[in-house]
Amino acid sequence: MSTRQIILDTETTGLDAALGHRILEVAAVEMVDRRLTGNHLHRYINPGRASDDGALQVHGLTEDFLRDKPKFREIASELLDFIKDAELVIHNASFDLSFLNNEFGLLKLKPVKAYCPSVVDTLALARELHPGKRNNLDALCDRYQIDNSKRTVHGALLDANLLAEVYLAMTRGQDSLIIDMAPAPKAAAATRKAAGKLELVVLAASAEELAEHEKQLAELDKASNGATLWRQLGESAAAMPKS
C-alpha cells in the first residue's frame, strides 16, 4: 500500500489564533512513498485583518495584496479534499494545527486530526536528532546542504518544498534505501549470474571507515525510532535458544 504524505505550511497574521489572528497563506505539497509527485495546493487568503508588524516582516504579505484573495471559508473544502487521510508533515506542528483548528472551528468543522489522524512534527524530530542545536528551517537546510537561497522571506509554498527535502534527509533509512536502490528481480538475477564469473577483490574497511559506518547506523536507528531491520534481526537472534 502506498504511503501518502502532505508537507504543510501556513503563514499567519500573528502568533496566537486565540487572540484573533488568522491564516493568510497555506501550502500543501504531496509526497507518495517518499517521492514528491509534483501535486500541490497553494492559496493566499484574505484574513480580514491586518498582520502584526513582526509577522509582516516575516512573510511580507500586505493587506493590499490580500484584499482580493478568497476568505478561508472559500478554500476550506479544497484544502480538506487535498489533505484528507494523508499523514501530515509540519515543522512546529502545534503552531499550524492551532491555526487550522481555529479556522475549521469557525466553520463548524472538526479538528484537523479528524481528517488526518497522523502528524509528523519535524521540529520535534530535529530536536531528537540534533539536541542543543538550532533547528529552525534555515538551520536544517544548512545542516543538510539544501539550497534555501531563494528564501528571503517566509512563503508557505517555498517553505513546504524545503521542508520536504529536509524531512527526506532527516528520515533517510532502510525504507528509502529499499525504494531507491533495490534492483528489479530480473536485473538482480543477471547481476548475480555475471558476478559468479568474476574474481572479486575484497577490501577490508579501515578503523576510521568502520567508526563512520557505525555512526551512520546509529543515526538511521534513531531516525526510525528503533525500527531498523538490523535491530529487529539482532533481537530475534538474541532471543533464540543456544545450541
Active-site residue, 91 included: no
Q: What are the grid coordinates assigned to 110, written together? A: 472538526
Closest CA to 28 of 48, 59, 6, 56: 6
Q: Is-contact 6 29, C-beta < 8 A?
A: yes
Q: Is-contact 46 66, C-beta < 8 A?
A: yes
Q: Is-contact 6 30, C-beta < 8 A?
A: yes
d(CA 51, CA 160): 21
21, 59, 91, 154: the active-site residue: 154
Report which residue type is found at 216: Q
Sign of the C-alpha dihedral, residues 208, 210, 215, 219? positive
CA angle 235–241–243, rounded 5-degree value = 130
Which position has the grid cell 534555515?
Answer: 138
d(CA 221, CA 101): 33
b/e per residue 63-86 (b: at least 16 CB within 10 A): eeebeebeebeebbeebeebbeeb
Enclosing H/E stretch for 117: none
- Among all residues, which ones are annotated catalytic? 154
